[in-house]
Structure 1
């Protein structure tokens, strides 16, 4: 099994973002198909996230992937990506250029399509301005703001800005860590969309099953397994990812689900399948126990 490093990183970002979106539906209501996504950033990392969201939405609705193109919109440095600019687009952007009049910037794009979710991936700091956040809050009861850039200095906006500019209505997650903050006597806990939620468990699932290929359905089951680890007590604080202190438990659960999918798809080579994949995954984890010396 050989996967290019760049593609693997993109896949990890996409998986953790999608997991957050699935988890947050408990707060926002509706299904993925009922929300409208606006992406600032149309490089391969951004379109990689888009493709996985479209794949999961298509899986849930049984609708073709093409049906997702009017629910997922991208903005690059020249404005909203639409069909009239297709001839000048890179190949990975072209599928995401629906019919729409040109829109020059992120603020006007959000207003035009009434996005419920705003996601930013390129390293261009402070692009989620006060006007952009206020607009999102004006047509959404609980806008989801995902400012994925890192390091912290290159974040699209800070957690404090997202919460204060939305008057405490935004749900915020970022690529960089931000401390919890209090606003109007309520404590908000920002989530961090970190690849470390995905890679240990996903890789372990491949190893314990002896998978010979990585299939899209393995990525989807990874995101679903991560989302299932988000509890109501986390969501009550606006946290759309499980606490990172539980990473071993999270990774074991993901590994078991990935391995199960590998066996289901006929891609596993470690036969026969063991009866309890979760127990087996945990037993294969390295535990750093050291002898004490005096």
Structure 2
């Protein structure tokens, strides 16, 4: 009898033991990683202790996404849209990314440029809960233990900023954390990289922004920026702590470091770590891709163009850096003091704005470019929108639709009086860095050369169709961003293997399928292991 009893009840005892070794009840709904809202099935609710904690309706993710869409359409203020959208990330991670992927053209300007700049300016005022890891100069000597506090142990990608040059907004200190958070949401949205392997980091060494030092809501150190040797020692310790904990191939992306440190740190770390600076390499690659697309319409190699830059990467009084001097030329004696004078005298075929100082491509400048060139190239690349050198409407209208235009921030389509409609291309780094990250993370790259970004630029330009070019768009539609990232990753991977820079073997034969198979999915998963299927086949416990 005893043996028969043991055989009869053992399955039930095993089921109960499984339930108590898993997270149960309200904590499942409080964690954005596990929360499914009203999409928890009846069986999950009963077994995981959720029954009664939710309304009785079982919803699909489709209905949840529709509820979001109905609500966001009623929110007009961009900052409030940002708060609402990021609030979903804090509650339900899979729903957040499902919404972002389905509405990428509408929502990318909210979670990234330009609205993320406004969110950084107001970071302490709209703060809900912290995201990412904050490391201050006071933590020097203890960074490894701080990394140990991060709950995820399998980190493969880190995006780090010190907040000194946030977009075109300047020194925002720890308020700049919105940038690493935003960049990593694009890792997942644009390239399907699992958010669990992504870590946003803000390095706080103080701020020289007097307004923030007087702001009661500021959340960082109330001190001037530490520009001593301790800064370099802190960064060195950080880099070593990351690879010690997570591995030598961990990708570390630098974002929005100031002019004094950005290029210097890139040169210092580029060959020692798997790292890149998106403001330097990503921006250059996306701009180059736009020029490659433009040459298909002009039928003139980019090497034969004359480029006139407005600004040298950011507006500042310091002399040009060494790497910039190679591209600078003495001004002709007859040239005046304005940018318009430079256009008249130098007769450029392309003007590229990177000054971050607002509408400096004036009506006279744009008209002059149109009179000099049949198809003038006008790139207004400064961010956010109010820092752009001109609007898309100005560029197309004042050149009668003949210009080839790209911007750093998004602009709406432009309709000319004759009925022609142009879709301005956004030279968005999101076309570049997610594909680069996807390739180097999965192929096991120890260091990232500048050639990787050249390959990325060529891969991006190849994906612009003739039909898209005819509408004035120098980049593929953002709606195709995941497809763009995968194709870019494939081209980069071909280059990495051909040049013995990959460490993942055997080499995938079908690289596109390889990347697609690794991409994170937004579908909800069941929390119940197979053991919970037992009662379906055994409707009752056997008689004793």
Which interval holds the TM-score relative to the shorter structure? 0.7 to 0.9
What secondary structure does 2:322 align onto?
coil
Question: Is residue 158 of structure 1 aligned with residue 391 of structure 2?
Answer: yes
Question: Is residue 94 of structure 1 aligned with residue 364 of structure 2?
Answer: no
Report if aligned partners of 2:444, 2:503 keep a CA contact under 8 Å in 1.
yes
Question: Of residues 271, 278, 281 in structure 2, which corresponds to 1:8?
Answer: 278
Higher relative contact order (CA 8 A, sep 6+): 1
What secondary structure does 1:123 align onto?
coil
Residue 191 (structure 1) shift? 0.6
Report if aligned partners of 1:25, 1:31 keep a CA contact under 8 Å in 2.
yes
Question: Is residue 23 of structure 1 aligned with residue 254 of structure 2?
Answer: no
Report if aligned partners of 2:278, 2:433 keep a CA contact under 8 Å in 1.
no
Report if aligned partners of 2:278, 2:429 keep a CA contact under 8 Å in 1.
no
For 1:1-294, list aligned pairs within 5 A. Answer: 2=252, 4-5=254-255, 6=257, 7-43=277-313, 89-102=320-333, 103=335, 104-183=337-416, 184-290=418-524
Residue 92 (structure 1) shift? 3.4
Distance in 1, matches of 2:254 and 2:519, equals 25
Residue 34 (structure 1) shift? 1.3
Report if aligned partners of 1:39, 1:120 keep a CA contact under 8 Å in 2.
yes
Flag as ranges the 4+ runs of structure 1 deviating above 4 A.
none
What secondary structure does 1:118 align onto?
strand
Distance in 2, matches of 1:275 and 1:208, equals 14
Deviations 1:24-46 (A, max 9, x none): 11111111111111110113x6x
Deviations 1:266-294 (A, max 9, x none): 111001211111111111111211259xx
Change (3 A) 1:147 1:3: same
Larger Rg: 2
Where structure 1 has 5 or more consecutive residues not aligned to the other structure, the ranges are 46-75, 79-87
Alpha-carbon RMSD across the aligned residues, in angstroms, is 2.1
Aligned residue pairs total 253
Change (3 A) 1:161 1:197: same
Report if aligned partners of 1:208, 1:259 keep a CA contact under 8 Å in 2.
no
- The match for 1:65 is none
Residue 188 (structure 1) shift? 0.7
